[in-house]
C-alpha cells in the first residue's frame, strides 16, 4: 500500500537548490528531502523530550546516569550483554 502524499510548496535558498541538484540525482530529490526532514524532526522531538524530562533520572536513584563516564559504561555494558545474548542464540540454533 502506498502512503498518501500531499504537495507542499516550500521555498529553498538558491544555493541549497544548486547543491541538491549537484549531489542528488533528479527523481531522488524528493526522497532525499523527505528523509532529511524526518531525521531533523526526530532530533527536534528527542531534544524536546529530553528537555521535558530533564531531572527525572536523579543520581541518587540512578547512579548509572551520574555523569558522562557512567552513562558510557552503562551503554557499553548493555551492548556487551546484547552481543553475548545474540552469540548464545546463534549457538543454540546450530
* DSSP-assigned letter for residue 2: P
Residue 24's Cα: distance from chain center in Å?
22
The answer to whether residues 57 and 65 touch, using CB atoms and an 8 Å cutoff, is: yes
Comparing CA positions, the residue from 10, 42, 36 lying closest to residue 23 is 36
Task: Please check whether residues 39 and 64 belong to one and the same domain.
Answer: no
How much is the pLDDT for 38?
97
Question: Measured at the alpha carbon of residue 75, what is the angle toward residues 70 and 81, in degrees to the nearest 5?
Answer: 125
Q: Is residue 1 part of a domain?
A: no
Contact yes or no for 70/63 (Cβ under 8 A):
yes
pLDDT (tens, 9 = 90+) of the chain, 94 residues, equals 678 999 999 999 999 999 999 999 999 999 999 999 999 999 999 999 988 888 888 888 889 988 899 999 999 999 999 999 998 888 776 5
Provide the whole-model pTM.
0.58
Is 6 within a domain? Answer: no
Residues of the domain holding 61: 56-94
pLDDT of residue 94: 59
Amino acid at each position: 500500500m502506498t502512503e498518501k502524499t500531499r504537495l507542499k510548496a516550500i521555498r529553498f535558498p538558491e544555493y541549497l537548490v544548486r547543491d541538491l541538484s549537484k549531489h542528488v540525482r533528479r527523481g531522488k530529490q524528493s526522497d532525499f528531502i523527505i528523509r532529511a526532514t524526518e531525521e531533523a524532526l526526530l532530533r527536534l522531538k528527542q531534544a524536546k523530550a529530553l528537555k521535558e524530562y530533564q531531572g527525572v533520572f536523579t543520581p541518587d536513584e540512578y547512579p548509572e546516569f551520574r555523569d558522562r563516564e557512567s552513562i558510557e559504561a552503562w551503554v557499553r555494558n548493555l551492548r556487551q550483554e546484547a552481543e553475548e545474548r545474540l552469540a548464545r542464540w546463534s549457538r543454540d540454533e546450530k
